[in-house]
Structure 1
Amino acid sequence: MLRLKFVAIFLLLAKLSTCHDLNAFDLIHGDLFESHESRAFEEKFITQKLDQLNIFDDRTWQQRYFSSNQNYTSGSPILLVLGGEWEARPSVIENGFLGQLAANLSAYTIYLEHRFYGQSRPLPDLTLESLSYLTLEQAFEDTAVFVQTLKNQGFDGKWILVGASYSAVMASWARARYPHLYHAAYASGATVLAVIDIPEYFEVMGKAFEDTDPNCPLVIQTGMSQLKDLVQRGESATITSLFNLAEPINLFEPDDVYLLYYTVSQVYGLMVQGADPGTLEAKCSALIAGQDTPLQTFAQVYNDHINNASLSVDASKVVEKYQNTNYTRSFIRQWMFQACTEFGWFNSVFSPNQPFGPIVPLFFLLKFCTSVYGPEFTSERLDAGIERTNMLYGGLNPEVTRVIYTVGSIDPFNPAMLSSDVSADAPTVIIEGGSHCNDLTNPAKPDDPDSFIDARTKVIETLAAWLAVDV
C-alpha cells in the first residue's frame, strides 16, 4: 500500500516464500536496503524517554544505533542515517552510495534505528496504547535528544541527516525543525506531501512501461482484462493456479477479489518502484515475447518477480494477521498505524489512466485502518491527521534550507514529492530513469547512466559547499 525498493523486498520474499500468510501488504515494506554482515560498525544503545513530550513521564527504553569511525578524520562531519520502517542493518552504508558518500566526506557515520522498528522497542507489545507513542513527533524528539547527547559527549562536528523514503521525509522536516542541531540534510525519495491517496502511482508505473516499449502496457492491460473475465466466470481454480495463490480464492467475497487485484497491481508497481537501469527492458521483453498468450504471460512475469512466492488473498486472514499485537518479522502493523493516522500515502488502483483500469477503490484500502485498529480510525480522522502534518511541515512548500532532495522520474510516489527547487539553498534533483531511492541505496558505478552520476556528483558537491558554511 505504501512505498517501499519501498525495496529490496525480494530478499524478504526469498526468505519467506514458504510462508502462506505473506500478502500484498508485506510487499510494501521490507528492508529498503540490501543487507550483509558488517564489521566496521559497532552496535550500541542509548536510553530514551518513552514519552519525549511529557516531562512527568520517567519511563525509558533502549534505542539501538550503529556507529563507525572507519572513514573519519578529525574535523569532518557526522553523517546521521535515519532508520525508517525497517530494521537497521549497518552493512547498507558500506554497500551503497551511503558508504561512498561517507568516505568522500571523511565522515563519522551513525545509523539510528526508528522507535518500534527492528530491535528498538519502547514497549513490549503493539497494542493501541503502545502504538500511541509511535508518532513522527516522538521520533523527531528521539533524534534530537540523541544528537544533543552525543554533542555533549564531544561529537561537535557538523551533523548531516540522510534519509530514504519515509526517513527522507524525517530528515527534511527535522532539518527545518532543529536547524541548530543539524547542519544539512540529504533526502532521497521524500514524499513531503501527506495525502490520503496517490492514484497517480499506477499512472507513473504505466508511463514507465510505455516509455520502455509502447507495446508493453498493452500486454499488462490485456492480461488484467482476461483475469477479470476469469473472476466473472467464477474460475477460482484457474486463478489460484495461475498466480500461485496461497489458498483457493473465494470469488464470492468482494474483499478477496479486491485484494487479488491489488496484489497483482502492486507487484507490477514494485517492478517500476524498485527498477534499476535495464530491469524494465527485461520485464517488457518478457511481456512482449508472450503477447500471444497475454494472461499466462502476465501471470508468469508476476510470479517471476516475486520468486514464485505464494501470496494470500484472503482478506480476513490479512486483517487477523495485523491485529496481532506481538512483534513479528513484519513491521506492517506499526507502519500502517502511522499511515492511518498521520500520512496516508495509499495508492488506490482506480485512475482510468493506467493499464489496470479502475479496479481497487480507495475505500477498500482504508478499510484496513478500521478493520485492524478499530472503528475510530476513519477516513475523517486520517484527513485531520494529514491536514495537521501538512500544516506543520509545509507539504510541497516546505520552509527549509540546506536540504538536497533527489527524486526519481519513474518513482511512482513522485506525485507526492517536490518537482522543482524549493530555493537556491534547497535544490531538487530529478533523476531521469531513477526509481524509489536507488540513487542512495545502490552503489555508484562507472557504467551508471549520466543522470545518476550527475545526481550523486550534485549531492557531494552541494554537501561539501554547505560544510564550508559556518552557520
Structure 2
Amino acid sequence: MYACLCLVFLFFTSIAEATYYPPGGFHHLSSLRQIKKSSSKSKPELPFETRYFPQNLDHFSFKPESYKVFHQKYLINGSFWRKGGPIFVYTGNEGDIDWFASNTGFMSDIAPKFKALLVFIEHRFYGESTPLGKKSPKTAETLGYLNSQQALADYAILIRSLKQNLSSEASPVVVFGGSYGGMLAAWFRLKYPHITIGALASSAPILHFDNIVPLTSFYDAISQDFKDASVNCVKVIKRSWEELEAVSTMKTGLPELSKKFRTCKGLQSIYSARDWLMSAFVYTAMVNYATAANFMAPLPAYPVEQMCKIVDGFPRGSSNLDRAFAAASLYYNYSGSKKCFEMEQPTDDHGLDGWGWQACTEMVMPMSISNQSMFPPYDNDYEAFQDQCMGRYGVKPRPHWITTEFGGKRIETVLKRFGSNIIFSNGMQDPWSRGGVLKNISSSIVALVTKKGAHHADLRAATKDDPEWLKEQRMQEVTIIEQWITQYYKDLREEE
C-alpha cells in the first residue's frame, strides 16, 4: 500500500485464530493502527493548488445511478509549465493524495527541466474522494464501484478534461506511480495509450497475482534483507516467535506481555503483539532507504541495519523477545517520545480504509511463509481467506481477474508485441520487487533494477546524501522520459 503501498494492512484474523494472513503485503495489509500511530496527523505543506473534479460514479454502465457525481480531489502545480509543454501525472494509490505528493519529490525535481505541469490525482474512495460520503457503511452496495478499472477511467477523463480546459490538448502526458500507484501507471499506459505517451512504474508488483511468482517470495526477500545486515539478527527474530508463544501459555501471559511491550492498554490477544512485531520488520524492509526518511514512520538511513545493531548489541543470554521488541521499537518510536504503544486501537490518518474491499475482490495477492524465513511459517489458505471476505463484505474474491483484465502471464512475450514506453524500476531490497518486472522486455519497455534500492526510492526527492547508484537510476529515468517527449514532438511536427 505508496504504501503503500504504500501499503496498508488489512488483517482479517480472528483474535483466537492461530492461522493467519501474514502482514506485509497488499492482500492482508494488517493493522492500519501500526502505520498511522507513527505518522503526524497534520497535513504537509505542499506547493500545489487543491482542486476537485466532478466525476461520474460508474463509467461502465448507463443506469441512472451511474451518473451520480462525486468530487475527485487532485493537486496541481503549474509553476514550471509553459502551454504545450508536458504534463506529469501521478496516478494515486490507496490513500490521501497529499501523503503521496509529499513523498514523490522526484516529479517536482525534474519539472523545471521539462517545463512540466504537475498533477497528482487521488484514487476514488480514498482520502477526500469518497463518492458516497465518509460515513457511508462499508458494504458491497457502497463499495461496489471501488476497483482499479474505475480508477483508471477516472484518471483518463480528468486528464482529457484538464487538457481541454488548458487549451493544451497536444501536450504529452507521462504518468508516474509507486507501489499500487505504479501498477496503475503501467496499466494506464497499456489501457489508455492515446492519453499517455509513457509510464514510470516504480516498485509495481504487477506479477504478484495468480501464482506467477513463488508465494514465499515477499517474506523470503525480507528475511534476506535482514540476513544481509546480520545473520545473528535473523536467528534472534526467528527464535522470538517461540518465546512469544511460550509467554502466551502462561497464566498471567497477556498481562506480562502487555508490560514487556509497554502497551497503553492491556492486550487481549497474543496476535496483536505478533502482528505489531511483524509489521515493524516488514515495513522497515520496504523503506530501507539510504537516507533518513519519514514515509511510513520517521526512520534513520538504512533502518534494517540499525535494527540489527540493536539486536546484536544485547548482552549474551538476553531474551530473544526482548531483542525483537527493542528492534521493532526503532520503527514505532525512533524519536523516543512515546511512553506506550497502541496495539489494538486502529486509526486511519491517511484515508486508507477501503483496501480491504479491493483485497477481497480483485487485488488477490496470495502469500506464504517458508520454514527458512525469519517469520512464523504460513501456508496460504485461500478457502479461509474467501470465507473471511464473505463474512466481512458478502463477496467472494476473484483471484484470476487482474491477470484477465491486465495480463501478467507470459508478460515478456505479450508486451513485446504491443506495449511500449514503460519504465519498471525496482530496488532488490524492496520485498515487492520479487513481483515486479526485472528484465527488459523490449527497447522501450525497460527494467531499471538496483541492488540496494527500497520501495520506490527513485520517486523520493533528491538529497545531498543520496548514493551514486540512486543518482544514476534517476538520471536514466530522466533520459528515457526525455526521449519519449522528444519523439512525441517530432511525430507531432511531422503530422502538421
Report the TM-score, using the length of structure 1 for normalisation. 0.83
Amino acid at match of 1:466: W
Change (3 A) 1:291 1:369: farther
The reply on whether 1:204 has 2:221 as its aligned counterpart is: yes
Q: Pick one of 116, 128, 134 that aligns with 1:119.
A: 128
Counterparts of 1:179-328 in structure 2, within 5 Å, are: 179-195=193-209, 198-234=215-251, 235-250=253-268, 256-277=269-290, 278-290=302-314, 292=316, 293=318, 294-307=320-333, 308=338, 310-313=341-344
Q: Pick one of 55, 61, 72 that aligns with 1:63.
A: 72
**TM-superposed deviation, 1:208:** 0.5
Partners of 1:120 and 1:246 in 2: how far apart? Answer: 33
Q: Secondary structure at the match of 1:341?
A: coil
Partners of 1:334 and 1:69 in 2: how far apart? Answer: 31
Q: Secondary structure at the match of 2:96?
A: coil
Partners of 2:2 and 2:164 in 1: how far apart? Answer: 36
Change (3 A) 1:5 1:448: farther
Q: Pick one of 128, 137, 149 that aligns with 1:137.
A: 149
Q: Pick one of 77, 81, 90 that aligns with 1:81.
A: 90
Partners of 1:51 and 1:155 in 2: how far apart? Answer: 27
Counterparts of 1:357-436 in structure 2, within 5 Å, are: 357-358=376-377, 362=381, 368-374=388-394, 377=395, 381-382=396-397, 385-395=398-408, 397=411, 399=415, 400-436=419-455
**TM-superposed deviation, 1:330:** 5.9
Q: Secondary structure at the match of 1:404?
A: strand
- Do the aligned partners of 1:71 and 1:102 also contact (CA within 8 Å) in 2? yes
Q: Which residue of 2 aligns with 1:325?
A: none
**TM-superposed deviation, 1:232:** 3.5
Q: Which runs of 5+ in 1 are unaligned?
A: 10-22, 251-255, 322-327
**TM-superposed deviation, 1:261:** 2.6
Partners of 1:371 and 1:291 in 2: how far apart? Answer: 47
458-467 or 228-237, larger mean C-alpha shift: 228-237
Amino acid at match of 2:95: W
CA RMSD of aligned residues (A): 3.0
Q: Which residue of 1 aligns with 2:177?
A: 163
Partners of 1:415 and 1:168 in 2: how far apart? Answer: 15
Change (3 A) 1:285 1:360: farther
Identity over aligned residues, as a percent? 22
84-93 or 98-107, larger mean C-alpha shift: 84-93
84-93 or 409-418, larger mean C-alpha shift: 84-93
Q: Which residue of 1 aligns with 2:190?
A: 176
The reply on whether 1:53 has 2:60 as its aligned counterpart is: yes
- Do the aligned partners of 1:3 and 1:28 also contact (CA within 8 Å) in 2? no
**TM-superposed deviation, 1:123:** 1.1
Change (3 A) 1:167 1:331: same
Cα deviation, 1:131-189, whole Å, max 9, x if unaligned, reads 00111111111111111212322232100101111111111001101101111111111
Q: Which residue of 2 aligns with 1:462?
A: 480
Partners of 1:257 and 1:196 in 2: how far apart? Answer: 32
Cα deviation, 1:18-52, whole Å, max 9, x if unaligned, reads xxxxx7244468989x96212x3211111111111
Partners of 2:349 and 2:99 in 1: how far apart? Answer: 18
**TM-superposed deviation, 1:439:** 1.5
Amino acid at match of 1:72: W
- Do the aligned partners of 1:94 and 1:100 also contact (CA within 8 Å) in 2? no
- Do the aligned partners of 2:6 and 2:179 also contact (CA within 8 Å) in 1? no
- Do the aligned partners of 1:346 and 1:365 also contact (CA within 8 Å) in 2? no
Change (3 A) 1:212 1:104: farther
Q: Secondary structure at the match of 2:281?
A: helix
- Do the aligned partners of 1:194 and 1:389 also contact (CA within 8 Å) in 2? no
**Is the helix fraction higher in 1 or 2?**
1
Cα deviation, 1:191-233, whole Å, max 9, x if unaligned, reads 1125278532221111001112222212212222322222243
Q: Secondary structure at the match of 1:413?
A: helix
Partners of 1:247 and 1:106 in 2: how far apart? Answer: 53
Partners of 1:24 and 1:48 in 2: how far apart? Answer: 31
**TM-superposed deviation, 1:432:** 1.6
Q: Which runs of 5+ in 2 are unaligned?
A: 9-29, 291-301, 492-496
Cα deviation, 1:292-334, whole Å, max 9, x if unaligned, reads 3122121122123112562435xxx87xx9xxxxxx6464541
Cα deviation, 1:243-290, whole Å, max 9, x if unaligned, reads 23454344xxxxx44454333212111111111123222111111001
Partners of 1:228 and 1:3 in 2: how far apart? Answer: 33
The reply on whether 1:342 has 2:366 as its aligned counterpart is: no
- Do the aligned partners of 1:90 and 1:111 also contact (CA within 8 Å) in 2? no
Amino acid at match of 2:403: N
Q: Secondary structure at the match of 1:343?
A: coil
Cα deviation, 1:81-114, whole Å, max 9, x if unaligned, reads 1111111118835872221122332211111111
- Do the aligned partners of 2:209 and 2:364 also contact (CA within 8 Å) in 1? yes
Q: Which residue of 2 aligns with 1:12?
A: none
Q: Secondary structure at the match of 2:487?
A: coil
Partners of 1:91 and 1:269 in 2: how far apart? Answer: 20
Q: Secondary structure at the match of 1:342?
A: coil
Change (3 A) 1:105 1:337: same
**TM-superposed deviation, 1:365:** 6.0
